[in-house]
């Protein structure tokens, strides 16, 4: 007869509820742990990796969506395995970037913020951390042949005019 022992293991941002099955006729034991969100969990401030950003953008464009749907798209573009997509999506959920809802027995994921806001935050973090708060290196990159279409150039001109107007209005 197997006896079951449960214990709680805490790690930063997660609580693990572990169920350990111990059989007297077996030399070892089998441990199954299920990750549970900590009640005090909040959005992670750690920078997102390329795979995380790609998955967030896919989900932002096609939400609510399943792991299988995202994995199919990712497999076509980067060749990542379904298990990698599943792990990444679960980590993004635990970091506070995704929500999930069970619909007819299948989890459907949605982003907590729209793609536009996500990209704005990524650029903001890049400028603040990598470029030290200065956009000059980025503008220099664009002026030296970066990928800038005519539409992008028109948008940049409009944005610069908007910023100049805002500064004039503050004076």
DSSP category for residue 33: E
Model confidence at 20: pLDDT above 80 = no
Phi, psi of 146 (to 5 degrees): -65, 165
Q: What percent of the chain has pLDDT over 90?
A: 25
The backbone region for 13, taken as left when phi is positive above 0, alpha when psi lies in -120 to 50, beta otherwise, is left
pLDDT given at position 10: 54
Cα(125)–Cα(110) distance, rounded to whole angstroms?
Answer: 22
Angle between helices 50-61 and 82-95 (to 10 degrees): 80
- Exposed e or buried b per residue across 7-42, where buried means at least 16 C-beta atoms within 10 angstroms of its C-beta: eeeeeeeeeeeeeeeeeeeeeeeeeeeeeeeeeeee
Per-residue pLDDT, averaged over 131-157, amounts to 84
What digits encode the pLDDT tens for the residues 82-127? 999 999 999 999 988 999 999 999 999 999 988 888 888 888 888 8
Q: How confident is the model at residue 8 (pLDDT cuts 50, 70, 90)?
A: low
Cα(127)–Cα(106) distance, rounded to whole angstroms?
Answer: 39
How far from chain centre, in Å, is Cα 27?
41
Q: 22 near 9, Cβ under 8 Å?
A: no
Q: How confident is the model at residue 26 (pLDDT cuts 50, 70, 90)?
A: very low
Give, in degrees to the nearest 5, the angle at Cα 108 between 104 and 114: 150
Tokens representing residue 46 in the block = 């750690």
What digits encode the pLDDT tens for the residues 43-94? 456 678 888 989 999 999 998 999 999 999 999 888 889 999 999 999 999 9
Cα(131)–Cα(137) distance, rounded to whole angstroms?
Answer: 7
- Ordered by where they begin, the domains of the chain are 3-37 (no CATH), 43-136 (1.10.10.10)
């Amino acid at each position: 007869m197997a006896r079951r022992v449960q214990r709680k293991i805490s790690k930063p941002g997660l609580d693990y509820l572990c169920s350990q099955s111990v059989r007297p006729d077996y030399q070892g034991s089998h441990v199954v742990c299920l990750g549970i969100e900590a009640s005090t969990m909040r959005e992670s401030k750690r920078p997102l990796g390329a795979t995380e950003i790609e998955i967030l953008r896919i989900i932002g464009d096609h939400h609510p969506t399943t792991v299988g749907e995202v994995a199919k798209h990712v497999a076509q573009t980067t060749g990542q395995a379904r298990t990698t997509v599943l792990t990444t999506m679960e980590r993004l959920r635990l970091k506070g970037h995704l929500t999930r809802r069970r619909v007819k027995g299948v989890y459907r994921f949605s982003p907590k913020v729209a793609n536009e806001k996500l990209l704005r935050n990524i650029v903001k973090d890049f400028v603040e951390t990598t470029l030290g708060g200065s956009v000059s290196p980025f503008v220099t990159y664009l002026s030296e042949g970066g990928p800038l279409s005519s539409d992008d150039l028109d948008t940049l001109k409009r944005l610069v005019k908007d910023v100049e107007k805002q500064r004039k209005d503050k004076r």
